[in-house]
A and B are shown apart, each in its own frame.
Chain A
Amino acid sequence: MSNLLEVRDVHTFIGQFHILQGVTVTVPKGAITTLLGRNGAGKTTTLKTILGLTPPRTGQVIFDGREIQGQRTFEIAALGIGFVPDYRAIFRDLSVEENLRIAERKPGDLERKADLIFGLFPDLKRLIKLRGTQLSGGQQQMLAIARALVADNKLLLIDEPTEGLAPVLIEQMMQAILQLAAETTVLLVEQNFHVASQLAKHYVIIEEGRSVQSGVMADLLKDTATVRRYLGAA
């Protein structure tokens, strides 16, 4: 069983809008897979569909060998999926410590993972008493990723981690994600093809709600025609 997550031909509706019209994604264990595609192609909805935030109407989602579609979000997450949304979703009324503490699934998780988290993001240790609102954009992003690391998650869903960050911070964030991938599996949504190509080992291209192509990143980099066609960048 080398695939940690398999999404098979899911269709998702939001209200009456048919957002995902057949998305298939396989995420091999222990590596970074990235979802590529233009704005509004359905990448974020794919992540939300996996988590059950926008449950699929048809199709299967198989995580760690069992079907999870149709289960409640908290049940899915508790199986070991961490979520870092594009809007970061830092809780304003909670301190940095509480923002981490709330992700604990059993008492003491945070203490157990403290070395890993503060090793990746030393800044957070200094900011631990601040409120969520008092952080800068980059710090919020670090906190959002750190929060997903508190519990023992087998899979991390990370949406647009470098969006709106300064170049220096992008570099730091990429280092952090690479280090993470050594321990867990990551499904990444990334607008910036340059970043995505450096991080990911596998890719899936989503276009207008359908997965149109997937494979190994190394092959995609040689195929400039495809890159230009779907992603508009070289």
Chain B
Amino acid sequence: MTGITNLLRKNRTQSITLAALVVLFLLALQGMEPSDWIITVLRGLSVAAVTFLVASGFSLIFGLMDVLNLAHGTLFMIGAYLGWTAYVRPDTLLDLATPFALFIAGLMLAPLWDAGLSRARVAMRAGRVLPWLILALGLGVLAFGLVRYPITAWDASVYDKSPVVFGVQLDLGQTDLPAPLTADRAQVILAMMSVFAGGALVALGLALNAARQRLAAPRVTWRALWLPLSLIVVGVLVYALNDALTAGVVAAGTTWRFCIAVIVATLAGAGLGALMESTLIRPLYARPIYQLMLTLGLGVIGREVVIALWGRTQMQMPKPALFNAMGKGCPAETLWDALINQCATINFMGTRIRTYNEIFIFVVGVIVLIVVWMLLQRTRIGMIIRAGVQDRAMVEALGINVRQVFTFVFALGVGLAALGGVLAGPSMGVSDDMGESLLLAGLIALAIGGLTSFPGAAAGSLLVGLLQQFIVKYGQIGIALPFGAQPFKPTPPLVPASTLLLMVIILLVMPNGLFGRRE
């Protein structure tokens, strides 16, 4: 008992704030019918889960590297677009798989370049601009190859072939995809080779850039060649079996396609994150404000690229079959029935709950929370991250390569954001401005939780999600104010204002956030 009193006394502001939030929450519940508040809470939890996927990566990256990654919203959106592509157009995905594998194989030559360069002592003479020129050249060669490689894609400028139409078609159950492009073998081989060369050149540029700052020669084993070689083989195999694979994926049904989409988007996001960190962010660790601007600029670029490739129109991403049935036995009465009958909705306490939006997304959010928490608490890399948040220099002085850990954490954070994007696709729709609101929500959640604290990010997301949904609901039913004759109905634009106000108030009461540490 004394222990609890002591705990309360030590964290007085924290306890009072938490109590105030609980009272506020109960008051908000009290103003509604039970069926209303149940659905509102569930929707809030779902929004919280998506926000959490953005905010958790945010907080990991900010905690360890002090980088406020303002491109995070864009990366979330890119996750949604990549997921949409893998889901709606598996043929395009498989067409892309071959050049992608070859490009990565080229990139994996980096250690070889590294060793070769330091042996030849070229790097010292390379200067500042040469690596970037080679990098640009590599990207040019890559583009040259990609243009020539046959990729069956959509065309945003022609309505019949636009991404929007394919989304609607899948929603209507039409699964036939356009006929694959054909190209003569010489063209394809040329394209494959230039994509691989592009990767190799990019790797050379990166190696040059890294080697400029280092004196000692890294060791390299010939085993490093196995992985790129096997990637090349995989790439060529995928090309040879392209038609059969596409037919197989299409026949597998939307549930499996959705699983593939989730995996593809998450991994691609992680890869993008690793690439971003190791090329652009790394030179700027000493200049935080420039990092801020860099990530902001990258966010703008990413969004423009997405618009150029997919068009400006919002696209539909139909729900996977597992959560989409309306027929026999639906709406289900229990969770089990819903799974068996693949119901889109469940009856619960007098309201109808959507299995995908309100249950699946939340469950994934909780799973991610637990998995990342275990990663942080139970693994060696988690231990290094927790230590690095406090004192990077000391971790390095123990003989640990912190930069590798940085890249890992950046990849993890961006991967989680991309996962959030692909999960949000079916419930929010896929559009180029979906990242912006999530960036703001994630930022608010992060600030409320205390910037660097992982559980803080979860708590902040929870608050943001619940508050948003309650304001939305009260926008429909109105708040009876004691002095107003008419109930006050907040309009949708006021929703972000409410979460911003919550953030300001919490930061004023507790400058370090709910779970932040006093510095």
Contact = CB atoms under 8 A, between A and B. Distances in A.
Contacts of A71: 214-216
Given A71-B215, A94-B383, A103 B389 contact: no
B393 interface: yes
A102 interface: yes
Interface residues of A, number: 24
A109 B391 CA distance: 22
Contacts of B493: none
B397 interface: yes
Interface stretch (A16-24, A73-81, A185-193, A209-217): A73-81
Given A74-B396, A102-B395, A93 B387 contact: yes
A77 B397 contact: yes
B61 interface: no
A203 interface: no
B216 A75 contact: yes
A71 B213 CA distance: 9
Contacts of A51: 397
A180 B399 CA distance: 20
A58 to B, nearest CB: 14
A144 to B, nearest CB: 9
Contacts of B391: 89, 91
A92 interface: yes
Interface residues of B, number: 22
Contacts of A70: 214-216
Contacts of A92: 390, 517
Contacts of A72: 214, 396, 401
A94 B386 contact: yes
A72 B214 CA distance: 8
B26 to A, nearest CB: 33
How would you classify the secondary structure of chain B's contact residues: helix, strand, loop or mixed?
Answer: helix
Contact of A53 (B380, B393, B399): B393
A95 to B, nearest CB: 10
A200 B402 CA distance: 34
Nearest to B396: A73
A91 B390 contact: yes
A105 B390 contact: no
Contacts of B397: 51, 53, 73-74, 77, 83, 85
Contacts of A77: 396-399
Contacts of B301: none
Contacts of B384: 102
Contact of B390 (A53, A93, A147): A93
A94 B396 contact: no
Interface in A55-81: 70-75, 77-78
A85 B394 contact: yes
A51 B393 CA distance: 10
A98 interface: yes
B398 A147 contact: yes
Contacts of B398: 74, 77, 83, 102-103, 147, 151
A74 B386 contact: no
Given A72-B214, A91-B387, A93-B389, A78 B394 contact: no
A11 interface: no
B400 interface: yes
Contacts of A83: 394, 397-398
Contacts of A202: none
B385 to A, nearest CB: 10
Nearest to A69: B215
Given A101-B383, A102-B383, A147-B398, A73 B389 contact: no
Nearest to A83: B397
Contacts of B400: 74, 102
A62 to B, nearest CB: 14
Contacts of B390: 91-93
Interface string A86-128: 0001011110001001110100000000000000000000000
A53 B395 CA distance: 11
B449 to A, nearest CB: 15
A92 B390 CA distance: 8
A53 B396 CA distance: 9
Interface of A: 51, 53, 70-75, 77-78, 83, 85, 89, 91-94, 98, 101-103, 105, 147, 151
28 contacts: A53-B397, A70-B214, A70-B215, A70-B216, A71-B214, A71-B216, A72-B401, A73-B393, A73-B397, A74-B397, A74-B399, A77-B396, A77-B398, A85-B394, A89-B391, A91-B390, A91-B391, A92-B390, A92-B517, A93-B386, A93-B389, A94-B383, A98-B383, A101-B383, A103-B398, A103-B399, A105-B399, A151-B398
